[in-house]
């Protein structure tokens, strides 16, 4: 009772003052209690005030929690400092309130760490920059992981794939009699080298794509593409393979479709896989494959239809799973990893597309790719 009586006797000015003191104390507590580095840059005086976390994380001896802007700038890696100064002044002029940058910052022991700096700019009554409140996050571990991912991808793509491609090339040259004629038996054996290296190259390609997907480094960059020409180039590529199985590939397209926004790498991967499967899983006695590309109410629809062995109902829900191969297909083709459709589906979804199929065992399969009316999505 006595307490509430005292509160009642407070004048509005006292009450305001007490609330201000309270909020300043709370701000100070948050500033110091957090584990992240937080700073306040007073643009007018050119002084940066740090919380204690700054001294703990960067090892500098703590004096009075403040340092001149120039001191902070002097600790930034020389290769990043110029860029940063430019970005900073552009930010002040831009009218944007939030800014984010990554740069290397020197710790007291001389080592550089990668920093993500995120600042919020406060302006004065006539719009002039007054103060920046921001946080510094040490992202060195993330950067090291990114580098490890890049190194892995480069190891697989160059150091494994390049020598294999050379093996395949030379074995093809040998069977093509470029280095002089080979005897029948020699040719037969060298062809085995070509087949095995082709299989390995495609497996490495799948593993590379799988790692890119799992590491989250696969992105989609659509650009206007002459889609009919692109599809035709794949049909031409697969023509000899189809012919050798007595298969006829037909293309049904809408000539009025000129360009569609496509990520060429993703689209090519999809059509390549669907066509390879359509040929691979066609009946040995041949048949017909129809590739069509048309407009529909949702955008553009690609379909690849074969009259092959089909996919039994019981297996249909698994075909987009990793490493899954339907039991009956393993006898038909030793090629194939069961990775293709998983990769194709994940890539299609990355690019904002949908993929599905209809199939009747023994009668054939048709795969569909629905592309939005605006084309593939950029990610």
In sequence order, the 6+-apart residues with CB closer than 8 A to the CB of 60 are 54, 107, 108
Take residue 290 and report the two structure tokens written for it.
């129809």
116 exposed, middle or buried (CB, 10 Å; 0-12, 13-18, 19+)?
middle
Of 215, 338, 358, 372, the one binding ligand ADP by CB under 6 A: 338
Other C-beta atoms within 10 Å of 263: how many?
Answer: 25
CB closer to ligand ADP out of 188 and 250: 250
Render the burial of 336-370: b for 16+ CB within 10 Å, e for the rest.
Answer: bbbbbbbbbbbbbebbbbebebebebeebbbbbbb
Number of residues that bind ligand ADP (CB under 6 A): 22
Contact region with ligand ADP (CB under 6 A), list: 70-78, 89-97, 239-247, 324-332: 324-332
Of 231, 341, 347, 371, the one binding ligand ADP by CB under 6 A: 341
Of 329, 352, 355, 369, the one binding ligand ADP by CB under 6 A: 329
CB closer to ligand ADP out of 37 and 347: 347
**Per-position x/- string for 248-287, each x denoting binding to ligand ADP as judged by CB under 6 A, each - no binding:** -------------------------x---xx--x------
Give the 3-state secondary structure of residue 74.
helix
For every residue of 178-244, DSSP letters joined together read: TTS---HHHHHHHHHHHHHHHHHHHHHHHHHHHHHHHTT------EEE-HHHHHHHHHHHHHHHHHH
Of 227, 242, 262, 326, the one binding ligand ADP by CB under 6 A: 326
CB closer to ligand ADP out of 49 and 337: 337
CB closer to ligand ADP out of 37 and 369: 369
CB closer to ligand ADP out of 57 and 280: 280
Is 294:253 a contact under the CB 8 Å cutoff? yes
> C-beta of 207: minimal distance to ligand ADP in Å?
12
Contact region with ligand ADP (CB under 6 A), list: 71-79, 143-151, 180-188, 320-328: 320-328
Of 40, 80, 209, 306, the one binding ligand ADP by CB under 6 A: 306
CB closer to ligand ADP out of 299 and 338: 338
CB closer to ligand ADP out of 274 and 376: 274
Least Cα distance to 283 among 247, 248, 234 occurs for 247
- Long-range Cβ contact pairs of 115-122 (< 8 A, separation 24 or more): 115/139, 119/41, 119/91, 121/91, 121/92, 121/96, 121/97
Interaction of residue 365 with ligand ADP, rule CB under 6 A: yes
Interaction of residue 348 with ligand ADP, rule CB under 6 A: no
CB closer to ligand ADP out of 119 and 340: 340
Of 76, 121, 210, 311, the one binding ligand ADP by CB under 6 A: 311
108 exposed, middle or buried (CB, 10 Å; 0-12, 13-18, 19+)?
exposed
Take residue 211 and report the two structure tokens written for it.
């790692």
Q: Which residues bind ligand ADP (CB under 6 A)?
A: 273, 277-278, 281, 306, 308-311, 319, 324-326, 329, 336-342, 365
């Amino acid at each position: 009772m006595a307490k509430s009586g005292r509160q009642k006797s407070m004048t509005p000015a006292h009450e305001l003052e007490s609330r201000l003191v309270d909020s300043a104390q709370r701000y100070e507590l948050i500033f110091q209690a957090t584990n992240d580095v937080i700073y306040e840059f007073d643009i007018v005086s050119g002084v940066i005030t740090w919380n204690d976390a700054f001294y703990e994380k960067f090892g500098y001896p703590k004096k009075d929690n403040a340092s001149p802007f120039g001191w902070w700038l002097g600790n930034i890696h020389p290769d990043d400092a110029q860029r940063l100064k430019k970005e900073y002044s552009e930010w002040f002029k831009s009218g944007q309130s939030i800014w984010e940058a990554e740069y290397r910052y020197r710790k007291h022991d001389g080592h550089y760490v990668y920093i993500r700096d995120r600042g919020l700019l406060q302006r004065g009554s006539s719009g002039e920059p007054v103060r920046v409140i921001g946080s510094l996050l040490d992202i060195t571990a993330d950067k090291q992981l990114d580098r490890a991912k890049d190194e892995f991808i480069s190891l697989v793509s160059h150091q494994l794939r390049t020598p294999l491609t050379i093996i395949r090339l030379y074995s093809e040259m040998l069977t093509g009699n470029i280095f002089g004629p080979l005897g029948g038996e020699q040719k037969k054996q060298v062809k085995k080298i070509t087949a095995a290296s082709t299989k390995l190259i495609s497996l490495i390609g799948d593993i590379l794509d799988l790692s890119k997907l799992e590491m989250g480094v696969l992105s989609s960059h659509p650009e206007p593409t002459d889609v009919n020409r692109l599809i035709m180039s794949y049909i031409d590529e697969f023509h000899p393979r189809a012919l050798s199985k007595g298969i006829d590939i037909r293309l049904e397209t809408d000539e009025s479709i000129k360009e569609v926004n496509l990520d060429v790498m993703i689209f090519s991967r999809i059509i390549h896989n669907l066509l390879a499967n359509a040929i691979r899983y066609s009946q040995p006695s041949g048949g017909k494959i129809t590739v069509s590309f048309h407009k529909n109410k949702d955008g553009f629809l690609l379909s690849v239809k074969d009259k092959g062995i089909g996919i039994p109902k019981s297996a249909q829900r698994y075909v987009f799973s990793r490493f899954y191969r339907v039991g009956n297909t393993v006898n038909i083709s030793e090629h194939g990893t069961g990775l293709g459709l998983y990769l194709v589906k994940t890539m299609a979804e990355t690019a904002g597309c949908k993929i599905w199929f209809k199939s009747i065992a023994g009668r054939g399969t048709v795969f569909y790719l629905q592309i939005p009316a605006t084309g593939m999505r950029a990610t």
